[in-house]
Structure 1
Amino acid sequence: MPKLIALLKGINVGGHKKVAMAELRQLLTKEGLKNVQTYIQSGNVIFDSIDDVKKIEDRIQEVIYSHFGFEVLVIVKTRDEIQSVFSACPFSNEKKEKSYFIIFDKIPSIELIKEVSKIAYENEEFVIKEKCLYFYSPLGYGQAKFSLNAFERKLKVKGTARNYNTMVKLIAMSATEEKDH
């Protein structure tokens, strides 16, 4: 059975959209997902399923809405897709280790990518490849002028960001049978 990774946007951030990971694992297991694991509180779920990815995204969104009462963007990728996004990072290894990987729900149009690529902030770099925006700032994500919401609007996509360490851990966890973190 294929190993899949669900990336949930904006849960457990600043006291908003609170979701207990143990409760989420239990709900998703009831929904038929197998070997459900979570990583940290920010909405990373690793599981096995043979179902269609879009159906799984919709099902997880519905479960969260019906149980917790709010909507959440859910992007489901295969382990290979996450590995591919990680491997395709255009930055040097030194920068990559301090980068953010913003995974989109769809590929933005080439015209919009060209337009957005003209944006420049001092001490910030970004590259858009397929369904990912790679972002690097020596100041860190929290201190950057970069705004995911602005980029989502301009590119007409939705996305969720993960840092280097989270990407490494998701790839490692999806390669093993270890349980709940």
Structure 2
Amino acid sequence: MSDTRSWVALLRGINVGTAKRVPMAELRAAVESLGGTDVKTLLNSGNVVYDTCAEAGPSADAIRGAVRERTGVDSEVIVVSGDAFRAVAEACPLRAAGRPGNRVSIAFPAAPLDPTSQVPDPAALAPEELALTATAVYQWLPDGQLATKVPAAWWRGLGVTVTARNDATVQKLVALLDARA
């Protein structure tokens, strides 16, 4: 039995437009410098899958610092174990037949969320849908992320940093994790 453990690191807000540019080769090198092995990036938006031989991989703060040191870009980082990432992906209650994966969003928090927190009024969000759990915020965004009706103040009210990926990207990250098993 191997002691290797897989992880997913999600950088927040990089390579959007011309600001906060982080080459994926530099991101891979930053994670490798912290002991990550078999480091793979997905797309150009700060998605990293890697392994470690330790029970705990590099912390979000360590990755943030290594990226900042290599590139000059300061970006918040969310680190999720491979098993927890798969569980969040599998639990998505808003994935349905006919819904394109690029319109379902999964926001990963830096710390557990309070699933009893007040969510915006579903009638005010329609046709959007939102589901809150301790491990994720799931959204159905039929008109796209830029047209969301969820107020920015609600996100700030969560009291924890989150970063979102569409379900198509999440499923590709799960496939990278599965290829390691």
TM-score normalized by structure 1? 0.86
Aligned CA RMSD, in angstroms, stands at: 2.0
1:5 aligns with 2:16: no
Q: How does 1:119-130 map to 2 (within 5 A)?
A: 120-130=124-134
Is 1:30 matched up with 2:22? Answer: no
Query: SS in structure 2 opposite 1:93?
Result: coil
Pick one of 100, 106, 130 that aligns with 1:101: 106
How far 1:152 sits from its partner (Å)? Answer: 2.8
Q: Deviating runs (4+, > 4 A) in structure 1? A: none
The answer as to 2:43 corresponding to 1:40 is yes
Shift of 1:110: 4.9
Residues 105, 131 of structure 1: 8 Å contact kept: no
Residue 76 of structure 1, CA deviation: 0.9
Query: In the TM superposition, what whole-angstrom CA distance separates every residue of 1:98-125 from its partner, at most 9, and x where no partner exists?
Result: 31001111123355x12x3446323211
Aligned residues of 1:46 and 1:174 also touching (Cα < 8 A): yes
Instruction: Summarize the alignment of residues 168-179 of structure 1 with structure 2, pairs less than 5 Å apart.
Output: 168-177=171-180
Corresponding position of 1:136: 140
Considering fraction of residues, name the structure with more helix. 1
Q: What is the percent sequence identity of the aligned residues?
A: 31
Contact 1:126 1:133 in 2 (8 A): yes
Q: 2: distance between equivalents of 1:161 and 1:110?
A: 17
**Residue 160 (structure 2) pairs with residue 157 (structure 1):** yes
Q: Which residue of 1 aligns with 2:169?
A: 166
SS at match of 2:59: helix
**Alignment of structure 1 residues 68-87 onto 2, 5 Å:** 68-87=71-90
Shift of 1:141: 1.4
Structure 1 spans left out of the alignment, 5+ residues = none
Describe the superposition over 1:137-170 as per-residue Cα deviations: whole angstroms up to 9, x where unpaired: 21121222335x4333111111001111101100
Q: Which runs of 5+ in 2 are unaligned?
A: none
| CA distance, structure 2, for counterparts of residue 90 and residue 24 of structure 1 | 32
Aligned residues: 173
**Amino acid of the residue matched to residue 17 of structure 1?**
K
Task: Report the 3-state secondary structure (helix = DSSP H, G, I; strand = E; otherwise coil) of the residue aligned with 1:62.
Answer: helix
The residue aligned with 2:65 is 62
